[in-house]
Structure 1
Amino acid sequence: MSDDERPIVSRLTMELAMAGVLLGIALVLLTGATGHGIGWSDSGPEPGQVPFLVACVLALASLGIAGEALWKRGRTVATFLNRTEAHRVVTLFLPLLGYIAAVYWLGLYVPTFVYIGAVMLLQGRYSAVHSVGVASITVVAMYFIFEKWFQIDLLKGPVESWLGLH
């Protein structure tokens, strides 16, 4: 097994981690639901009853995931993430972090155009014309759907001000 194929994270580790995350969410929901009442009142179910039941199902599911993962331990050796796959994940998320930071200063439209175009061009290996076209259509569609049709103001930056789109 080469270094690129050697596991960084095993499937067992991730299944147990996700079971823990789901159990944590279930516990938060259980705590919140009990604060609103989980029984029956004269007018019917109290406000926390449905969230409480959903949280119970979520907690049971998380315990089932953990139990199955532990039961299968040793029977299968599965890799969740190796070095090659980790590199691909990082090459997607580092530009995404840049996108998130750029939205604060440049608004939503320009960073979206740059991010979609760059990811298509550099990672998807699409042509420049195709990348710019899809990025442009996406940004224009976002503008009309949110700003015009639903009348929801999205973050705007200096370019939108310069174009008079405020």
Structure 2
Amino acid sequence: MDDTRKVLLTRFAAEMFVAALLVAIGVLVAYGAAGLGYGWTSSGPDSGYVPFYLGWGIGLAGMGIAISSYLERERYRARVF
């Protein structure tokens, strides 16, 4: 079957959008948790310890998706999403 439809959204664009969204969410979570304190005290971790590092993890996952998508962009350039 010959696919002559116009491509409205490429896989690269969709992956970059999701990556940017994840990075933004990660930054917001880490920033909010930093206000609660993310260090270690004599009684254990501060209240923002886990959310701060989860925010970092979400942001790094988004960056990983962006890098992977950028490196593989030629493979999916002409495909319809």
TM-score (norm 2): 0.89
Alignment of 1:1-166 (within 5 A): 1-2=3-4, 5-77=5-77, 78-80=79-81
Identity over the aligned pairs, expressed in percent?
Answer: 33
Deviations 1:1-56 (A, max 9, x none): 43xx3210100001001100111101110110100000011110000000011111
Residue type at the aligned position of 1:12? F
Larger radius of gyration: 1
Once the 2 structures are TM-superposed, how far is the Cα of residue 76 of structure 1 from its aligned partner? 2.6
Deviations 1:103-129 (A, max 9, x none): xxxxxxxxxxxxxxxxxxxxxxxxxxx
The structure whose residues are more often helix, as a share, is 1
C-alpha contact (below 8 Å) 2:11/2:76 kept by paired residues: no
Count how many residue pairs are aligned between Structure 1 and Structure 2: 78
Q: What residue ranges of structure 1 are gaps of 5+ in the alignment?
A: 81-166
TM-score (norm 1): 0.45
Residue type at the aligned position of 1:33? A
